[in-house]
Structures are given as structure tokens and as C-alpha cells.
Amino acid sequence: MSSNTTILITGANRGIGRAITKLYLSRPNTTLIAGVRDPTNTTTTASLSTLPLGQGSKLVIVKIESSSETDAKTAISTLPQHGITHLDLVIANAGIGHYWAKARDVDIEELKQHYLINSIAPLVLFQAALPLLKASKSPKFVTISSALGSIAAMENIPLPSAVYGSSKAALNFTTRKIHQEEGDWGLVAFSVHPGWLKTELGNAGAAAAGLQEAPETLEVVIPQLVSLFDTATREKSSGHFLTYNGTDFQW
């Protein structure tokens, strides 16, 4: 990516989001806008504001509660005050995955909540970010999806994932639709399976599968994930569902 790269990511305070934030901030000339649920929470801000900064890099923390239809737009409207007039990369990362049940037993309120946070909020974010993405010379919109959102891979993943899986399948559809509809100005849009990672969410999935913890580590995966973001192009990557190492994942 070019110098003065500007990136916005949601769910930046822990797990995958924080690890991505940390890596980008360690680079020079990078502005990282960290979307968090509650910027007044001192644990949240301390976990981000103590991250080492590369030369010329800066962190801006904004409030984006995923269930809000207005937070993303409000947050992005404040960016010009920080001298930010374009977004090169927007990462819809915030997500939930704490509920596991067979379809016949699914609690509909849990289903609605997962759809709101995992499927609807990324589209709300995209709509809010659109004007500043259009102002970028090399705009990218990435959604953090999951292997559990794959219909083709379902037979190999016998987890009670009716809620989480279907929310990510919807996210995959929307992401590919955005790719299809926004090609005329060169947007790169794709979804990513980030691996099965040792985070709160990843370990909750592991418990549902009868495992002690998730198998993969942030230390191994995040550099590959960020390299995938760096090298993504309209021709090679847009409209794909990719694994963190750059290989295509089955829809």
C-alpha cells in the first residue's frame, strides 16, 4: 500500500480486530481508525492507546456500536476533523458467535441479534464509508466472515451453527453483491475466513465442538491476513471468499 494509508476497522479493542490494529499501527505513515463499542471505557482505550506507533502513524478511536444504524455514519462524519478525507481500507470485523443450537431449537431473539451484528451492521458500515472509500485511490472493503458461513463446507463442519453460520452466509452474499455493484469505480470487496483463532469467540466455537480451545494463533495468522489485504486487487481478489492465506474458500 502507498504511504499515508488510512484504515478503519470495527471491533478493534480485542481479538482479531486488536491484532490487526496493532500490526497496522506499527507501520509508518498509517492512520488507523479503531471502531469500538464504548470509547469512554478506559480498559478499551488503554488497550489501544498503548500500542506502539510507527513513525508518522496515528490512532483515532471512534464509537461504532454495531447494532446502531447511525453510529458508523456519525463516526465517519467526524474524521475530517482529524484531517482524514479518504479511507483506503474498511474492515467489517466486529462480530458475535456465542450461541450454538440446532435449527429446531434456535432462540429467535439470538438469531435476530446475530443477523443484526454479523450480517446487517457490515452493510450499514459500507453505506457510511462509501463517500470516503470513493475518495481513495485504491479502495478496499473487507468483511471478516467464517468457514461456518460456507454452505458447501457444511457437511465437513458438524457444529450446531444454524445461527452463526447463516449470519455469515448472508454476509458473504452481501459482500459479493457489493463487489458486483461497485466495480465501475474499482472497489475491491471480498470476504475472509480468518482461521479458527484463539480469541473469545474462537474459543467459544471450540467449546461447542468439544475442544479445549481454538487451534490457530493470532501471531501466525494476522501477518498473513494483513498481507492479503495489502496485495488484494480488483482482478485477483474482489468478489472472492478467501482464507487468510489467500486461497479461495468454498462458498
139 is an interface residue for ligand NDP by CB under 6 A: no
99 is catalytic: no
What phi, psi does 6 have (nearest 5°)?
A: -120, 125
> Is residue 175 involved in binding ligand NDP (CB under 6 A)?
no
Question: What is the smallest separation between the CB atom of 97 and ligand NDP, expressed in angstroms?
Answer: 5
Q: Is 122 in the site for ligand NDP (CB under 6 A)?
A: no
What is the DSSP code string of the chain? --SSEEEEEESTTSHHHHHHHHHHHHSTTEEEEEEES-TT-HHHHHHHHTS---TT-EEEEEE--TT-SSHHHHHHHTGGGGT----SEEEE--------B-GGG--HHHHHHHIIIIIIHHHHHHHHHHHHHHTSSS-EEEEE--GGG-STTGGG--S-BHHHHHHHHHHHHHHHHHHHHTGGGT-EEEEEE--SBSSHHHHHHHHHTT-SS-SB-HHHHHHHHHHHHHH--TTTTTT-EEETTSPBPP-
- Kindly name the residue from 168, 177, 198, 244 that is annotated as catalytic: 168
Binding ligand NDP (rule: CB under 6 A), the pick from 202, 221, 232, 242 is 202
- Select the residue interacting with ligand NDP from 196, 241, 244, 249 (CB under 6 A): 196
Least CB distance to ligand NDP at residue 139 (A) = 21
Q: Should residue 15 be labelled a site residue for ligand NDP when binding is judged by CB under 6 A?
A: yes
Could you say which of 1, 7, 8, 16 contacts ligand NDP (CB under 6 A)? 16
State the nearest-atom distance from the C-beta of 3 to ligand NDP, in Å: 28
Q: Which 64-103 positions form the footprint of ligand NDP (CB under 6 A)?
A: 65-67, 93-97
Q: Is residue 164 flagged as an active site residue?
A: yes
128 binds ligand NDP (CB under 6 A): no
Minimum CB separation of residue 88 from ligand NDP in Å reads: 20
Task: Kindly calculate the radius of gyration of the chain based on its CA atoms and give it in whole angstroms.
Answer: 17
Contact assessment for residue 194 and residue 241, using Cβ atoms and an 8 Å cutoff: no
In this chain, which stretch among 22-30, 77-85, 183-191, 200-208 interacts with ligand NDP, using CB under 6 A?
200-208
Position 201 contacts ligand NDP (CB under 6 A): yes
Return the active site residues: 164, 168
Rule CB under 6 A: which residues touch ligand NDP? 10-11, 13-17, 37, 65-67, 93-97, 117, 144, 146, 194, 196-197, 199-202, 214
